[in-house]
Amino acid sequence: MSERGFMVRPRAQHRSARLLRIAARFGLMAAMSALLPTCSAPTKNDGEDPRKTAGLFVANSSDFRGFHQWASYDVTDDAELAGIHDGSTVTEYINELPPSGSDEFPLGTIIVKEATGGTIAHELFAMVKRGGGLNKIAVGWEWFDLIPVDDARDSVTIKWQGNGPPDGESYGGDANSGCNTCHRDCGNDSVCAKPFAFSNF
């Protein structure tokens, strides 16, 4: 008995030590593979914005910088038909077109609308797909009123942002007008201008 026990114990110890080593190695590998996706994500050079990964895109003023270089559309005639921005030249800019077949604009979509030369000399509004449960009417969109900054970098400051204009602000001279009302009625994920109809993508 004692001899057997003597024989067995070292082997058993040896085996369990080996198992421990293997387990440790696997454990390390598992830990590393668990870490890898989170470690490698920011170094990916596709430049995916962490806000998009997190599902909440809260825009700040630098997100609008250089918007004049984005894809742009002259919607002056549509604006005239809708009876808004009278006499203005109206241009819309979008940071990223939606993928073909979309029925909503992706998180992080920014659309800027600029009206110049009308009764109000220069208006700059925007809508940003923010997500995170904001805005139950124009779902997920946050509204912005922007002020252009003359800094040769095409910057803006944010006058206000949210579900609509704050008290005391007016849209096109109509103090009672929110942003959601008309936009919800446009369908097309609350984006009104014809060039942004989903059938175009």
- In the chain, DSSP finds a helix count (H) and a strand count (E) of 4, 6
Helix (H) or strand (E) holding 177: none
Question: In sequence order, which residues have a C-beta less than 8 Å from that of residue 124 and are 6 or more positions away?
Answer: 112, 113, 114, 115, 145, 146, 147, 148, 156
Pairwise CA distance, residues 29 & 36, whole Å: 10
By beta-carbon proximity to ligand HEC, the closer residue of 21 and 122 is 122
Show the binding pattern over residues 35-54: x = contacts ligand HEC (CB under 6 A), - = does not: --------------------
By beta-carbon proximity to ligand HEC, the closer residue of 16 and 157 is 157
Choosing from 52, 61, 70, 78, the residue that interacts with ligand HEC (CB under 6 A) is 78
By beta-carbon proximity to ligand HEC, the closer residue of 59 and 79 is 79
Candidates 10-18, 50-58, 151-159, 185-193: pick the segment binding ligand HEC (CB under 6 A).
185-193
Binding to ligand HEC (CB under 6 A): which residues in 102-141?
Answer: 111, 113, 125-127
Pairwise CA distance, residues 82 & 65, whole Å: 28
Cβ atoms of 183 and 190 within 8 Å: the answer is yes
Residue with tokens 């992080």: 108
Total residues contacting ligand HEC by CB under 6 A comes to: 24
Cβ atoms of 90 and 76 within 8 Å: the answer is yes
Pairwise CA distance, residues 142 & 134, whole Å: 7
- Would you count residue 156 as binding ligand HEC (CB under 6 A)? no
Choosing from 79, 107, 146, 156, the residue that interacts with ligand HEC (CB under 6 A) is 79
Cβ atoms of 183 and 138 within 8 Å: the answer is yes
We find the least distance from the C-beta atom of residue 22 to ligand HEC, in angstroms, to be 59
Binding to ligand HEC (CB under 6 A): which residues in 84-103?
Answer: 84, 90, 92
Binding residues vs ligand HEC (CB under 6 A): 75, 78-79, 82, 84, 90, 92, 111, 113, 125-127, 143, 165, 171, 177, 179, 181-183, 191-193, 196
